């Protein structure tokens, strides 16, 4: 199963409320050289790291900010070349890192959810078999390493933001990618 599909499946497991079967309707690609473009602007009080924001925002939603290729490489200790963005039913985005010397990595971000959607996602964060509670990633976090992949699901209550990160790197590196996704959104 491709990373985008796997992360969408993880997102579906998080909330079970993502509607239609056409989760990824389009993909936007950003080459590593594009990461030198000006960073997305964040509120003046934010300490969010520079990240890449592309696409359009559905009414009443905020633009998802993907960690840059450089941020993903730093977090994961790898050398990916591209960032592919795929929307998830207008409520999130899959940020997939490709072109590296190994399996793709990614983080699916569901920012600023409604209270009802966030509650559903929060209730499902650690329900996958083998998921264990972890600390240091958002307010609530769960992690698992299986089949050569590390998976981290995490959430921040204040912003009602949920992320699902995956990589072939150790769990600590995947936690770092999840933290960047949470902080940027």
Domains in the chain, please, with CATH?
Answer: 3-35+49-184 (3.40.1000)
Q: Which residue has the tokens 């590196």?
A: 173
pTM over 0.95: no
**How far is it, in rounded angstroms, from Cα 22 to Cα 89?**
8
| Residue 171, C-beta contacts closer than 8 angstroms, at least 6 positions apart | 134, 143, 144, 145, 150, 152
Q: Which residues pair with 151 in a beta bridge?
A: 144, 166
Q: What is the pLDDT of residue 94?
A: 97
Question: What are the residues whose beta carbons fall under 8 Å from the beta carbon of 72, sequence distance 6 or more?
Answer: 78, 80, 83, 95, 97, 105, 177, 180
- The pLDDT, as a whole number, for residue 63 is 81
pLDDT digits (tens, 9 = 90+) for 96-144: 999 986 799 999 999 999 999 999 999 999 999 999 999 999 999 999 9
Strand, helix or coil at 74? helix
Vertex 31, ends 107 and 97: CA angle to 5°?
25
| pLDDT tens profile 5-47 | 344 334 434 433 322 333 333 444 444 433 333 333 333 333 3
């Amino acid at each position: 199963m491709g990373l985008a599909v796997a992360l969408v499946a993880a997102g579906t497991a998080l909330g079970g409320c993502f509607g239609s079967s056409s989760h990824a309707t389009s993909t936007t690609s950003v080459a590593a050289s594009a990461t030198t473009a000006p960073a997305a602007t964040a509120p003046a009080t934010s300490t969010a790291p520079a990240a890449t924001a592309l696409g359009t925002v559905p009414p009443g939603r905020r633009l998802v900010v993907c960690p840059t290729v450089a941020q993903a490489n730093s977090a994961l200790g790898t050398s990916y070349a591209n960032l592919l963005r795929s929307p998830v039913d207008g409520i999130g985005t899959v940020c997939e890192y490709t072109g590296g010397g190994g399996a793709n990595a990614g983080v699916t971000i569901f920012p600023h959810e409604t209270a009802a959607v966030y509650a559903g996602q929060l209730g499902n964060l650690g329900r996958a078999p083998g998921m264990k509670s972890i600390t240091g990633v958002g307010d609530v976090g769960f992690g698992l390493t299986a089949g050569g992949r590390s998976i981290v699901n995490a959430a921040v209550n204040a912003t009602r933001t949920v992320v699902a990160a995956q990589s072939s790197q150790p769990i600590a590196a995947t936690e770092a990618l999840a933290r960047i996704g949470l902080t940027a959104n």
